[in-house]
């Protein structure tokens, strides 16, 4: 009986801990395009074209309980200036995350803008990300140690929880900055790097009414395109993010393969990444591919859990899907000489 009681208390506490400890953590993705746009507002303009719309969906931890689901939408437009060396960009984004038994919900709606300046083959980028964030949760799906009822040998949700929760909804304004540099080194190598500063205002974030400021985060990205031959490009990539005592590193590479003989699929880009961190074990191996069809890019990936949690998850992690549409600048396909008579 004592063992059962301890197990019930432990499981109820763990459920609440998992739901509330992620209060200060950030939404994340495994695929490069979505991850870069979350971590660095200057990289939302890193595409060839005039307009780009990106949507992403992720579901993880279904194997060990209530799944965590994340969805995002980014839309960016480039604006030319009178100077060929200077261009501007503006975009909107929407992010939603829901996790745990407490149905902890995160909604982020933002506007991003910035500029790119080209000088002697270098492209320097600067971006500002502004957003309004709302977080909420539902206590009805939780149980607490003080709600254990010995008369029934289980938890009674009608008993007082004993928790000093003041609100189930909070909101705040968030501000991010991003910097980037892009350059073609030679005929075979092109490199892009970025640095981001997130949560610069360190907003208050607590359901308990306590002084709990969201920690500032720092991000670093580096990616390259190495042309192997006419059909293959190697795309190495590294993304690092650090906030407070938490860190995340995604490192690996993709291989882009031009496939004109596969009908509408113009190119394939299989990739292999790992998610790890400095001073901790590797969490997951990320495998996936991108399909390029006309102006669309479809991404599919799966996180294979290889952390200690694999004992419970049986190596199952998260499924991630993305869809990208890129509209090019309009091109004049035909030239017509006006008739002098008219």
Domain assignment present for residue 5? The answer is no
Instruction: Please check the confidence at residue 95 and state whether its pLDDT lies above 60.
Output: yes
Asked if the structure places residue 160 within a domain, the reply is: no
* The pLDDT value given to residue 19: 38
Q: Region 235-261: what's the mean pLDDT? A: 91
Tell me the pLDDT tens digit for each residue of 128-158.
999 999 988 766 666 666 666 667 767 666 6
- Whichever domain contains 301, its CATH number is 2.40.160.40
Into how many domains does the chain fold? 1
The HSE-up count of residue 168 (CA atoms within 13 Å, CB side) is: 9
As a whole number of angstroms, the distance between CA 295 and CA 331 comes to 15
Structural domain contains residue 146:
no
Q: What is the pTM of this model?
A: 0.79
Domain that holds residue 193: 25-136+165-327
Residue 127 located in a structural domain = yes
Q: Residue 36: is it exposed, middle or buried by C-beta count within 10 angstroms (0-12/13-18/19+)?
A: buried
Does residue 340 sit within a domain? no
Place of tokens 């980037």: 180
In a domain, 293, yes or no: yes
Average pLDDT, the chain: 82
323 or 304, higher pLDDT = 323
Position 222 in a domain: yes
**HEC states along 66-108?**
CCEEEEEEEEEEEEECCCCCEEEEEEEEEEEEEECCCCEEEEE
pLDDT tens digits, 191-225: 999 999 999 999 888 776 667 788 899 999 999 99
Considering the domain boundaries, does residue 45 fall inside one?
yes
């Amino acid at each position: 009986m004592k063992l059962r009681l301890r197990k019930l208390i432990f499981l109820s506490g763990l459920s609440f801990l998992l739901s509330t400890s992620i209060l200060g953590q950030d939404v994340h993705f495994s695929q490069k395009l979505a991850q870069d746009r979350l971590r660095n507002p200057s990289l939302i303009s890193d595409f060839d074209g005039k307009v780009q719309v990106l949507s992403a969906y992720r579901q993880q931890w279904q194997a060990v309980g209530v799944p965590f689901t994340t969805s995002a939408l980014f839309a960016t437009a480039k604006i030319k200036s009178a100077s060929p060396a200077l261009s501007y960009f503006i975009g909107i984004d929407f992010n939603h995350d829901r996790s745990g038994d407490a149905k902890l919900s995160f909604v982020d709606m933002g506007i991003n803008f910035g500029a790119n300046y080209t000088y002697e083959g270098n492209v320097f980028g600067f971006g500002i990300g502004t957003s309004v964030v709302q977080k909420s949760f539902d206590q009805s799906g939780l149980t607490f140690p003080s709600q254990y009822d010995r008369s029934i040998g289980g938890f009674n949700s009608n008993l007082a929880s004993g928790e000093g929760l003041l609100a189930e909804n909070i909101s705040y304004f968030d501000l991010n900055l991003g910097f980037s540099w892009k350059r073609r080194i030679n005929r075979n190598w092109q490199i892009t790097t970025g640095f981001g500063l997130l949560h610069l205002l360190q907003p208050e974030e607590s359901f308990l009414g306590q002084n709990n400021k969201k920690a500032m985060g720092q991000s670093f990205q580096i990616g390259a395109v190495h042309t192997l031959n006419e059909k293959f490009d190697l795309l190495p990539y590294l993304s690092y993010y650090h906030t407070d005592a938490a860190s995340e590193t995604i490192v690996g590479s993709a291989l882009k393969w031009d496939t004109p003989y596969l009908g509408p699929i113009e190119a394939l880009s299989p990739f292999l990444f790992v998610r790890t961190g400095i001073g901790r074990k590797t969490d997951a191996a990320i495998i996936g591919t991108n399909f390029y069809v006309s102006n669309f890019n479809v991404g599919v990936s799966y996180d294979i859990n290889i952390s200690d949690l694999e004992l419970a998850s049986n190596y199952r992690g998260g499924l991630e899907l993305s869809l990208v549409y890129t509209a090019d600048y309009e091109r004049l396909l035909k030239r017509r000489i006006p008739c002098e008579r008219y």
